[in-house]
């Protein structure tokens, strides 16, 4: 078991180094000298320019710069934002819980709706319900989610006034951030009104961000269930007179869940990518919106650090899913 985990962890290290290299190189591709971009139109005396270069290590050979960068990253130094002068890591850590909370709710929504829909569609294969679920999930999969968000705002927020248009919490409330997760913080503070408000703010972004994963989960569940329902042990279970519900719920579902769990794990990357759009539409104060704003402000250190941190988060979640999967499924653990 330990060996399995160690192998998986060691496989991640080259990927992480590769991502670090990629972000390092990408920022070098920005047209223009970083210092000249920073001083702008004013111009700067050559000796000051040389001094700046030296301070920032830009006079070193490229490989030296990269090693320095990796060293900094490993010690938690992801650079300093050009605009706010705050550490990129600190900014990221303050905003990340908002993104995480949203992504978690979206995944929960996708699973809670997608799983039953997929199971029912498989059980009633060929029925109107099946066609409906498959049609809807293909539509969801094709949905431009930025537009979907706007439609929902237009209908539920503007038209019916049921949900707020943007943000995380009503301006009426202030809750001291403890965990950064609004739902937990408000409950811990005992502010039930604020909790209710936070929940209201979450509804539309959750639906929007959860739409694509929902479609994927429903389709995957259906096809996994269809495959399992054709197996011999299902026929055996039916033949020995078990109730339909028990055959489907116990015998089929458990085995069908294996590929579904993998797919759910793989959706984490999609979710964090989709968060960029969702957060922009709903002014959700998370890392996605922050990243887009950094691009608009040409804050390249923030962009570089943010991308590296998000990529690291995705890699870590995938690693976690991988390990969990091995724990749940001995066949994977013992393969090679």
Contact footprint for other proteins (CB under 8 A): 14-15, 18-19, 22, 26-27, 29-31, 138-139, 141-144, 146-148, 150-151, 153-154, 158, 269-270, 272-274, 276-277, 280, 291-292, 295-296, 303, 307, 310-311, 314-315, 318
Q: How far is the CB of 312 from other proteins (least distance, A)?
A: 10
Q: How far is the CB of 61 from other proteins (least distance, A)?
A: 22
Where does 86-184 show beta strands of DSSP type E? Answer: none
Q: How far is the CB of 134 from other proteins (least distance, A)?
A: 9
Q: How far is the CB of 284 from other proteins (least distance, A)?
A: 15
Q: Extract long-range pairs of 143-148: CB within 8 Å, 24+ residues apart.
A: 143/211, 143/212, 145/208, 145/209, 145/211, 145/212, 145/274, 145/277, 145/278, 146/277, 146/280, 146/281, 148/208, 148/211
Nearest to other proteins of 14, 190 (CB atom): 14
Nearest to other proteins of 61, 296 (CB atom): 296
**DSSP state, residue 30:** S
Q: d(Cα 160, Cα 114) in Å, to the nearest integer? A: 26
Q: d(Cα 45, Cα 62) in Å, to the nearest integer? A: 24
Q: How far is the CB of 49 from other proteins (least distance, A)?
A: 23
**Chain centroid to CA 30:** 26
Q: How far is the CB of 118 from other proteins (least distance, A)?
A: 16
Nearest to other proteins of 20, 186 (CB atom): 20
Q: How far is the CB of 303 from other proteins (least distance, A)?
A: 7
Nearest to other proteins of 261, 292 (CB atom): 292
Residue 230: strand, helix, or coil: coil
Angle between helical axes of 145-152 and 253-282 (0-180°, round to 10)? 70
Residue 87: strand, helix, or coil: strand
Distances in Å between the Cα of 273 and the Cα atoms of 107, 214, 224, 261, 268 are: 13, 15, 26, 20, 9
Q: How far is the CB of 328 from other proteins (least distance, A)?
A: 22
Nearest to other proteins of 143, 187 (CB atom): 143
Nearest to other proteins of 44, 292 (CB atom): 292
Query: Among candidates 293, 294, 141, which has minimal Cα distance to 215?
Result: 141
Nearest to other proteins of 147, 162 (CB atom): 147
**DSSP state, residue 307:** H
Nearest to other proteins of 30, 112 (CB atom): 30
Q: How far is the CB of 206 from other proteins (least distance, A)?
A: 18
Burial (CB count <10 Å: 0-12, 13-18, 19+), residue 5:
middle
Nearest to other proteins of 35, 188 (CB atom): 35
Q: How many CB atoms lie within 10 A of CB 177?
A: 12
């Amino acid at each position: 078991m330990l060996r399995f985990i160690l192998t998986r962890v060691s496989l991640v290290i080259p990927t992480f180094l590769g991502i670090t290299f990629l972000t390092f190189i990408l920022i070098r591709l920005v047209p223009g000298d970083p210092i000249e971009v920073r001083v702008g139109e004013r111009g700067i005396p050559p000796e000051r320019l040389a001094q700046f270069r030296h301070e920032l290590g830009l006079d070193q050979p490229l490989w030296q710069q990269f090693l320095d960068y990796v060293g900094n990253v490993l010690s938690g130094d992801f650079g300093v934002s050009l605009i706010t002068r705050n550490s990129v890591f600190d900014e990221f850590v303050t905003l990340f819980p908002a993104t995480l909370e949203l992504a978690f709710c979206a995944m929960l929504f996708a699973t809670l709706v997608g799983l039953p829909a997929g199971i029912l569609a498989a059980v009633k294969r060929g029925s109107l319900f099946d066609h409906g679920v498959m049609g809807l999930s293909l539509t969801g999969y094709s949905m431009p989610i930025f537009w979907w968000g706007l439609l929902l705002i237009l209908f539920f927020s503007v038209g019916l006034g049921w949900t707020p248009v943007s943000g995380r919490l009503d301006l009426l409330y202030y809750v001291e951030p403890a965990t950064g997760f609004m739902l937990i913080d408000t409950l811990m503070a005992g502010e039930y009104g604020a909790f209710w408000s936070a929940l209201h703010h979450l509804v539309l972004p959750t639906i929007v961000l959860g739409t694509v994963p929902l479609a994927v989960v429903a389709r995957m569940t259906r096809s996994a269930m269809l495959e399992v329902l054709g197996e011999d042990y299902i026929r055996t279970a039916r033949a020995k007179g078990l109730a339909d519900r028990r055959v489907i719920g116990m015998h089929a579902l458990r085995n069908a869940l294996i590929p579904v769990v993998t797919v759910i794990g793989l959706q984490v990357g999609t979710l964090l990518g989709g968060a960029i759009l969702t957060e922009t539409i709903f002014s959700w104060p998370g890392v996605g919106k922050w990243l887009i704003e950094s691009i608009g402000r040409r804050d390249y250190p923030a962009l570089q650090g943010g991308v590296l941190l998000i990529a690291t988060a995705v890699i870590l979640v995938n690693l976690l899913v991988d390990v969990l999967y091995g724990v749940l499924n001995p066949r994977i653990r013992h393969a090679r």
